[in-house]
A and B are shown apart, each in its own frame.
Chain A
Amino acid sequence: MRPDASKKIAKVTPKGGPNPVVIGAIVAAVVVVAVVVAILIGNSGKSGSSTGASGSSAPVGVVGGTGGGILVNKATAKGNAPTLDLYEDFQCPTCGELEKAMGSRLASMAKAGQVKLVVHVLSFLDANLKNDSSSRAANAAACAADAGKFLEYHSAVFAGQPAQEGAGYTDAQLTQFAKTAGITGTALTTWQKCASSGQHAQYVTDVQTGAEKAGVFGTPTVKLNGKDITKTLTTGDALVAQVKAATK
């Protein structure tokens, strides 16, 4: 092996050539600055928590503290019903398929109080698809929760999911979903204001953070009493059977 000449080179500046120490220092400085800038830019996307920022409080029905999901059926859930956590992104096609396959079954179980249905609406697909439709739709759904129509809005969004992943949702579509969900009159006016102002934007960010902290990095994810049962949900009957088994 050839002897390493780097030490010798570092000591003497070659005649007429660039100084390695100077170039090295420049490269190192560029790396440090670029890394700091990258971290600052990355962090600027998220800040604070639900509490504090004016006008961006958590919506009605949130359980489990900051960044928790929305308990859909607080009024009807029976005391001994197991908790079913549903993690979805409104732009996730597989979530749309899950909704199609067992959405109505889930809704009826929730209405009958057989499960405590907690829905966590995620928004990570915005970064992948380079749009903001997941966040806007999630905010709009949180506004619908304020109106007591979360599950109805949730179904309307998935029913109107674009055939092509990434096409996203227009504001007009989001409003149409509210009407489909049965939000009318003054409630619709309130919903509209909430949706267009991004009133629950911070909550939406917090839910995404909360899900990642809970180890959820994909959608749909379904947890029954905290246990991930997503893979077992091949049929609606499988879901019903598991819920029954988990009921004390």
Chain B
Amino acid sequence: MLEARQRVAPLVPDIDPGDLLLILQSLLRPIGTGRRFFLRRRDSGGYVF
């Protein structure tokens, strides 16, 4: 992850470092490894993972 960030960061200097880390974490985590991406609406009107 850190190696990827070091390699990619100079190529996308306008992307916020925090956003870049978030994107890399997502890109480098294959499906089937516990990812959550659905929001479920509760009766109260709020949303939960």
A binds B: no
Q: Which A residues are closer than 8 A to B by beta carbons? A: none
Q: Which B residues are closer than 8 A to A by beta carbons? A: none
